[in-house]
Chains A and B, each alone.
Chain A
Amino acid sequence: MSLFSRFEAFELDVLKEVGNIGAGNAATALSRLLDKPVDMAVPKVSLLPFEEVADRVGGSEQIVIAVFLRVEGEAPGNMFFIIEEQSARRLLRQLLSMQVEETDGYTDMELSALCEIGNILAGSYLSSLADFTQLPMAPSPPAIAVDMAGAVLSYGLMQYGEMGDSALLIETTFLEDCQSLEGHFFLIPDPESFEKIFKALGVVVE
């Protein structure tokens, strides 16, 4: 991980700003969808051991709804929109007036709706990021899974597997109405993408 140990505080701040701009736009999109104010936490940029990534959303075995998109273009990477079950049901009720049962499992229609919400938010995250960096970036079609956090997130860490045992991720948390709805965004740029992002933003990497 020599690539990342050299990251300076200044460079991490740049990545935080990347998260801020992307997630800020996504939060605006969510707020419009819900017609309610949505708060956003200050983005966190961290180099985390694989083991600890899932802890950020409640532990490896926590059941989450994860929408995954592969970022394609000049600075490829992986993106997750992760919400826990209660928030997912609330989203469905508020947004689509769906009669959501409190029982286990989701119908195809509910999953498809959640997937689309993830898609809209990730799309606004990425398009603002693409504008900001002037790098072409586009999301792949979204895929959704309802499963253990460890199992879904590890999927986005494979590109780091060949380089070391930790991954650099940009994380932003949304809150609506005092935590009754909580969502997480993870942008995990491929290791090679950092240099391109820095270069595009005029940050000189030796």
Chain B
Amino acid sequence: MIQQNLVKVGMADLNIATDGAVLKTTGLGSCVGLTLYDPIKKIAGMAHVMLPSSDIARETTFNFAKYADTAIPELLDRMIAAGAHVVRLKAKMAGGAQMFAMSGQTDSLRIGPRNVESCTAVLNRFKIPIVAQDTGGSFGRTIEFDSAKGMLAIRSVQFGTKEI
């Protein structure tokens, strides 16, 4: 593979990429890796969302990238500032797994599915279509989004690599 410019997105972090750079985030468990893409301008954005809603936030320095309801608007702003158009944006997402099958599930342990639900709801609010997703299950994922092709590569231990 050609050495591409790699932009790493950490946990509870977000970033954008242009000029064929690749966005990457590793070890998604119950977190959701959400990508937005403007195919005309070839501007890509990725957020590693950890929690569904900022309602529960008690932190002193607020991290927008952590919560689905604040990460998506923040990512949108960054992408629009870089020249992307909201109407052209398409979303893809991966993650939201339930890593451990626990007996006596409480709601807080269903965090993966709740992250996916929350991301979907926020995207609907902005009328951004979700064109592909690989969510749920009980396995971890590492994802890479190619800003030149608009493809999302998903790697997992059990299932190898696939592109959506």
Contact = CB atoms under 8 A, between A and B. Distances in A.
- State yes or no: do A and B come from one complex: yes
Interface of A: 1-2, 50-51, 54, 60-61, 63, 68, 70, 140-141, 143-155, 158, 161-165
Contact of B26 (A60, A144, A161, A165): A60
A151 B29 contact: yes
Interface of B: 10-12, 26-31, 50-51, 56-61, 63, 66, 97, 99-104, 108, 111, 138-142, 157
B59 A1 contact: yes
Nearest to A63: B157
Nearest to B11: A50
B27 A165 contact: no
B62 to A, nearest CB: 10
A162 B139 contact: no
Contacts of B63: 164-165
A160 to B, nearest CB: 9
Contact of B66 (A63, A141, A150, A161): A161
B60 A150 contact: no
A161 B12 contact: yes
Given A2-B60, A161-B51, A51 B29 contact: no
A154 B49 CA distance: 12
Nearest to B56: A162
A153 B26 CA distance: 12
A158 B51 contact: yes
A143 B105 CA distance: 12
